Amino acid sequence: MSNSNPSTLSVPSAAAAPPSGGAAAGKRIVLKAVDSGPPRAAAGGLGQRVGGNWMVLSLFCLLLFLALWQLYSTVGNEKFPGPVVVAEHAWYFLSDPFYDNGPNDQGIGFLVGFSLARLATGFLAGSVVAVVLGVILGLNRTLFKALNPYIQVLRAISPIAWMPLLLYTVQNSGWTALLVVFMASMWPTLANTAFGVNNIKKEYLNVAAILQMPTMSKVFRVILPGAGPAIVAGLRISMGSAWVAIVPAEALLGSLGLGYFVWNEWNNLDIANVIFAILLIGAVGVMLDMLFNRLAKSLAYTD
Amino acid sequence: MKMPLLKVEGVSKYFQDPRSKNEFCVFSDLSLSVKEKEFVAVLGHSGCGKSTLLNIIAGIEKSNGGVVFLDGRQTVKPGLDRMVVFQNFALMPWLSVQGNIKLAVKAAYPEWDKASIKQRVDKYVEMVNLTEARNKKPAELSGGMRQRVGLARAFSVNPRIMLLDEPFAQIDALTRGVIQQELVRMWEETGITIFMVTHDVDEAILLSDRVLLMTPGPGATLAEEITIPFARPRTRDRLVEDPAFFKLRDRIVAFLGHRQAA
C-alpha cells in the first residue's frame, strides 16, 4: 500500500547507525539519491537503478514503429495512410479544435469535451455508489460474503453488453451512454474499496473505538483515509475501464464524442482520421491516468 | 476506605484452538484493583495473557465472565476514560504528529472551537518535546518519538486511567530510559492513574508503586503483589547503587523463573 518516494533511499541502519543503538538508531536515515556513486538497492521500482537509457530506448521504439508503419504504407498497402498523412490530418483537426457547424460537424476539442463530460458524470456517480457500497461491504463480512458472488458475475459482464437492455429500459441514448460509463466505473472501485476497508489494521479501529468516535467521523477520519490508497487504485482502474467503454458506447449510440468521431470516420472510409482518433483516445486516456497517479501519491502513506 | 479507581473482579478468558476445537484457559477468576493516582504494573512472561487482561480492561477484547469497574461503574465498551498506549504505537500513518493528537482531542471535546483544540494539541506536543517534529508523519519518526506521540495522544484527552501495553518494548534501550523518565514526569504532573503491563523487571521496579506478578499461562494467575519501597524521584543510576534493588530484582526473577520452570 505504501509508495516510497523514488528520489530517496534508505541506507541499511547497520552501516549508518552507531554500533550500540543510540538515540538515532531507530531513525530512518534518508539520503538524496545521486546519479554518481556506487549502485545501491533502490527503495522502489524493480530494485535496479535506472539511468537515462530508457529514454533513448523509448525513442528508438517510437522511431522503429514509425519506420515500419511508413514501410507498410509505401510497399505493403498503398491505400493505408502513413504517419506523415496522419500527421497532416491531425494538424487539420488540432489547428482549429473549437468550431461548430451544426450537430454533425463540430471541432475535435468539443468532441473530446463531450466525451470527458460524459465520462466525468458517469464515473463520478459510479464511484460514489461504489465507494459507499464498498465501505459497507468492507465493514460487514457477512454481507460481503453474501454479495460477493453477484459482484463477481456483474463485473465479468462488459458494460457494452448491458447497452441493449439499458436502451430498451431508459429509451434514451444519452442516458444509456451515461449508464454504460456508470457500470464500467463501478466494479474495480467497489472491489478495491471493500478490500481496503476490510484490511484496515485492527489497531486503527481499536483507537477509533477507544476515542468513542461516532460512526460518521470514524468513516471519514479513520476508515476512508486508511483505505485511501486501495480506493484510489480502484478508481484508477475504473477510470481506465470507463474510458475504454465510452468509445464503443458513443459509436453505437451516436452520442457526440470521440467514439462517435472514430465510427463516423470509418463510415466515411477516412482511415487517416480513424488512426488520428485512435491516437487521440490513447493520449486522453494517458492524461487521465496521470491525474490519478497524482491523487494516488497524495493519499499514499507508509506504515 | 476509599473506593479503588479500577476494580477487576473474577475476570476469565478462554481461547478456542481453531483446529482442535479445544478450549484453553488464558486466565480465570482474576481480580485486582488500582487506586487513584497509583502506578501499577503487571509483570509476566510474554504470552502469559497480560496484554489480554489489559485489552479486556480497555474494552477492546471481550472476557468470558467477570466484571471491570471504573469509578464504581461497570464498563461495557471502550471509552475515553481508559486511554491505551499500544506496544506498536497504533498511530494513524496518514496523519502528522499533531494530526494524531488532534484526532483524539477532537473526539474527546467535540464541542470545542478550533482555537481551543489547537491550544490543547500544541500543549501536549510540547509536553513530549515534539514541537519541532509536529508536522512529520509517524514513518519519519524513531520508535521513541512515535511512542511519545502515543503518550501525548493518551494524556491529551485527560482519561481517568492510562492503560500501557508494553509501551517501551519496541524502543531501543538508550531511548527507553529517557522516555521512561518522561512518563514518570507526565504521570506526576497530570496525576493520571497508570496501569501498565510489561515483561521488563527493571522497568516495573523503576516506574511503579506496586507490581503484580503474573504466572505464565495457560491458567495464569496474579500470584504475588509487591509494593516497591524505593523513594521517588527514582533514577536508574541511583537504584543500581542500592543493594535492596538487586535483592528485590532477584526475588522477582526467581519467582518468575521458578514458575516458568514449573
Contact list in A for residue B90 (CB cut-off 8 A) is 201, 203-204, 206-207
Q: Is residue B88 part of a domain?
A: no
Torsion from C-alpha of A193, A194, A200, A206, nearest 10 degrees = 120
Instruction: Return the SS3 of A140.
Output: coil
Q: How many structural domains does chain B have?
A: 1
Residue range B222-231: average pLDDT? 91
**B77 and chain A in contact, CB less than 8 A:** yes
Most confident residue range from A27-36, A178-187, B213-222, B233-242: A178-187
Q: What's residue B219's pLDDT?
A: 84
Distance of alpha carbon B206 from alpha carbon B181, whole angstroms = 9
Q: Which residue has the cell 479507581?
A: B5
* Cβ proximity of A292 and A240 under 8 Å: no
Which of B84, B88, B137 has its CB closest to that of A210? B84
Q: Is residue A227 part of a domain?
A: yes
Q: Is residue B7 part of a domain?
A: yes
Please give the grid coordinates belonging to residue A188: 474495480
Q: How many structural domains does chain A have?
A: 1
CATH number of the domain bearing residue B13? 3.40.50.300
Which of A213, A217, A225 has its CB closest to that of B94? A225
Yes or no, beta carbons of A24 and B142 under 8 Å apart: yes
Tens digit of pLDDT for each residue in A94-146?
888 888 887 777 888 999 999 999 999 999 999 999 999 999 999 999 999 99
Q: Is residue A214 part of a domain?
A: yes
For residues A124 and A46, the model is more confident at A124
- Measure Cα distances from A176 to A239, A245, A273, B219 in Å: 18, 12, 26, 65
* Cβ proximity of B242 and B234 under 8 Å: no
Instruction: Return the SS3 of B69.
Output: strand
- Measure Cα distances from A142 to A138, A154, A191, A248, B56 in Å: 10, 19, 15, 37, 25
CATH number of the domain bearing residue A115? 1.10.3720.10
- Measure Cα distances from A6 to A180, A293, B240 in Å: 37, 14, 48
Q: What residue of B is the nearest CA neighbor of A218?
A: B107
Distance of alpha carbon A51 from alpha carbon B240, whole angstroms = 57
Q: Is residue B186 part of a domain?
A: no
Tens digit of pLDDT for each residue in B151-173?
999 999 999 999 999 999 999 98
Distance of alpha carbon A285 from alpha carbon A243, whole angstroms = 7
Q: Is residue A190 part of a domain?
A: yes
* Cβ proximity of B162 and B193 under 8 Å: yes
Yes or no, beta carbons of A206 and B60 under 8 Å apart: yes
**Start-to-end CA span in chain B (Å):** 38
Nearest to A207 by CA among A215, A195, A197, A218: A218
Yes or no, beta carbons of B172 and A26 under 8 Å apart: yes
Nearest to A177 by CA among A130, A118, A129, A128: A118
Provide CB contacts within 8 A for B27, sequence distance 6+. Answer: B11, B12, B13, B49, B52, B53, B217, B219, B220, B221
Q: Is residue B9 part of a domain?
A: yes
Residue range B77-102: average pLDDT? 96
Contact list in B for residue A217 (CB cut-off 8 A) is 107
Point out which residues pair with A106 in neighbouring strands: A100
Yes or no, beta carbons of B107 and A27 under 8 Å apart: no
- Measure Cα distances from A172 to A50, A71, A104, A168 in Å: 52, 45, 19, 8
- Measure Cα distances from B104 to A58, B87, B150 in Å: 50, 18, 10
Q: What's residue B171's pLDDT?
A: 92
Instruction: Return the SS3 of A115.
Output: helix
Torsion from C-alpha of B180, B184, B186, B192, nearest 10 degrees = 120
Assess whether pLDDT exceeds 80 at residue A35: no
Q: Is residue B20 part of a domain?
A: yes
Kindly report the backbone phi and psi dihedral angles of residue A263, in degrees, each rounded to the nearest multiple of 5, phi listed first: -70, -40
Q: Is residue A32 part of a domain?
A: no
The nearest CA of chain B is from the CA of A23 a distance in Å of 6
Which of A204, A210, A225 has its CB closest to that of B58? A210
Residue range A3-12: average pLDDT? 39
Mean model confidence pLDDT for chain A: 84
Give the domain range for residue B62: 1-81+193-262
Distance of alpha carbon A270 from alpha carbon A263, whole angstroms = 10
- Measure Cα distances from A98 to A32, A94, A108, A302, B215 in Å: 46, 9, 7, 45, 81
Point out which residues pair with B225 in neighbouring strands: B212
Q: Is residue A37 part of a domain?
A: no
pTM: 0.81
Please give the grid coordinates belonging to residue A150: 453477484
Q: What's residue B174's pLDDT?
A: 87
Helix ranges, B42-134 (H): 50-58, 97-108, 114-127
Yes or no, beta carbons of B103 and A226 under 8 Å apart: no
Distance of alpha carbon B61 from alpha carbon B53, whole angstroms = 9
State CA A266 to chain mean position distance.
27
Please report which helix (H) or strand (E) contains residue A63, including its range.
Answer: helix A53-71
Please give the grid coordinates belonging to residue B174: 538508550
Instruction: Return the SS3 of B162.
Output: strand
Give the domain range for residue A217: 108-299
- Is the alpha carbon torsion for B49, B53, B54, B56 positive or negative? positive
Q: How confident is the model at residue A41 (pLDDT cuts 50, 70, 90)?
A: very low
